[in-house]
């Protein structure tokens, strides 16, 4: 989706996800190993944590996802969950929904500061939730071919598997196995901080 209100290169996709709550999505991001291939089964081929989410949190977790983007070649994609306060002023103005996941990293240059390249923000609406996904392409980097189509394919499957998967896992109360984290945050325009529910 192209919108002149967004910085050049940002790719933004809006979704409405029936039957899926923000609580389910909070759970999903830190428990993806429990069903990653269900989330876009044609393109997701494997998942592992390089660094598991910390107990009661998620910032600093690192995932390795084996997937194709829009049916391209299967590759391992490394994604780090980041502190959204590392976002730019444009990021912070863009994040307005009640829950937020920010991801990215330092990229190939070890001297470069960390940069938020991906975000999912979401909140409850009647009958489910709405979600806004964005690939925040850094200046000078080309857009990722097929990412918008891949994002639509992923998010469209949530309604088919996530309520059932989340429901099954409510029987497991050990937080080291069935992790919990908060993705609600406060954003005063200059600082973002996750808050306990």
Q: What is the pLDDT of residues 117-153, one digit of tens each?
A: 999 999 999 999 999 999 998 878 888 889 999 999 9
Q: List Cβ neighbours of 89 (8 Å cut-off, separation of 6 or more).
A: none
Arithmetic mean of pLDDT over the chain: 91
pTM equals 0.92
Burial bucket for residue 23 (CB in 10 Å: 0-12, 13-18, 19+)? middle
Q: What is the mean pLDDT of residues 65-89?
A: 90
Q: What would the pLDDT profile of 163-177 be if each residue is shown by its tens digit?
A: 999 999 999 999 999
CB environment 134-173: b (16+ within 10 A), e (fewer): bbbbeeeeeebeebbebbebbbebbeebbbebbeebeeee
What does the alpha-carbon distance between residue 178 and residue 7 come to, in Å, rounded to a whole number?
A: 37
- Which pLDDT score, from 0 to 100, does residue 183 have? 96
- pLDDT band at residue 2, thresholds of 50, 70 and 90? very low
State residue 35 phi and psi, 5-degree precision.
Answer: 180, 30
Q: What's the token pair of residue 22?
A: 């923000």
Structural element, H or E, at residue 119: strand 115-125
User: How is domain 11-188 classified at the architecture level of CATH?
Assistant: 2-Layer Sandwich (3.30)
């Amino acid at each position: 989706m192209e919108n002149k209100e967004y910085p050049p290169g940002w790719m933004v996709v809006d979704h409405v996800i029936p039957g899926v709550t923000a609580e389910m999505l909070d759970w999903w991001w830190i428990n993806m190993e429990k069903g990653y291939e269900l989330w876009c089964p044609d393109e997701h081929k494997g998942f592992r944590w390089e660094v598991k989410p910390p107990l009661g949190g998620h910032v600093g977790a690192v995932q390795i996802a084996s997937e194709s983007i829009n049916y391209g070649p299967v590759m391992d994609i490394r994604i780090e969950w980041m502190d959204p306060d590392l976002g730019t002023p444009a990021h912070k103005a863009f994040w307005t929904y009640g829950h937020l996941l920010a991801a990215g990293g330092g990229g190939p240059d070890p001297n470069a500061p960390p940069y938020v390249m991906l975000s999912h923000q979401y909140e409850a609406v009647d009958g489910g939730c709405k979600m806004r996904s964005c690939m925040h392409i850094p200046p000078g980097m080309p857009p990722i071919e097929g990412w918008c189509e891949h994002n639509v394919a992923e998010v469209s499957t949530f309604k088919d598997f996530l309520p059932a998967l989340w429901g099954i896992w409510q029987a497991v109360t050990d937080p080291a196995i069935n992790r919990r984290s908060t993705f609600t945050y406060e954003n005063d325009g200059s600082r973002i901080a996750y808050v306990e529910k």
